[in-house]
Structure 1
Amino acid sequence: MGWLLLSLAIVFELSGTISMKLSESFTRLVPSLLMFLFYGISFTCLNFALAYMQVAVVYAIWSGVGIVLISLAGYMIFQERLPLSSMLWIGIIIVGVIGLNISKNGH
């Protein structure tokens, strides 16, 4: 159940961040309202995930996967540049999230 809640938190955090970009600094009403809704759902799911999982693992996965997904969304949806150096650092984030998860399972 913890993984499901964490996955939902990540999906809604991604949706909230995309809505933030689409809100154009709160000048567009619908994306602005959706941003608050999506972030509220994300934090609620994150909160419930903490009942099943360790806070360090939950937060690292939520933020790390969120960074990777929003970087890809920026590239694919908003045509933002994603230089090779950025992809390298995103890869390091992925390795870090995997490493944290492996080390958690080892204890």
Structure 2
Amino acid sequence: MHWLHLGIAVIFEITVALSAERARGFTRPSWTAATLASGAVATYFLSRALLTFDVGVGYAIWTSLAGVGIVVLSALVLRQRLDWRKALGILAVIGGVVGLQLSGAA
């Protein structure tokens, strides 16, 4: 169940970033509300996941997977550039997450 909670937290953290970009410095009320609500949901599910994960490992996995998701979706949805250096960085992050998982963290 902890992986499900962490997965939901990742999805909502990605939503935070994409909504914050659209909120334009919190000048658009509906996107501002979406940013804040998504942040609350992400934090709730992260806290549920951290009941099982070590806090350092759970937080690292959460931020890493959310970061990868944000970069990929920004390229797809916001038409931001995804070059080979970003792709290499994504592979490095995924390698780090796999390494944390192999450490027997949860």
Q: TM-score w.r.t. structure 1 length?
A: 0.93
The unaligned stretches of length 5 or more in structure 1 are: none
Could you report, residue by residue, the CA deviation over 1:56-79 in whole angstroms, capped at 9, with x for unpaired residues? 221111011011100001100000
Point out 4+ residue stretches in structure 1 off by more than 6 angstroms.
none
The unaligned stretches of length 5 or more in structure 2 are: none
Structure 1 equivalent of residue 40 of structure 2: 40
Which amino acid letter does the alignment assign opposite residue 51 of structure 1?
A: L
Aligned-pair distance for 1:104? 2.1
Distance in 2, Cα, partners of 1:11 & 1:40 = 12
1:23 aligns with 2:17: no
Could you report, residue by residue, the CA deviation over 1:21-79 in whole angstroms, capped at 9, with x for unpaired residues? 11111111101111000001101111111112211221111011011100001100000
Among the aligned pairs, what percent are the same residue?
Answer: 30
Q: CA RMSD in A?
A: 1.4
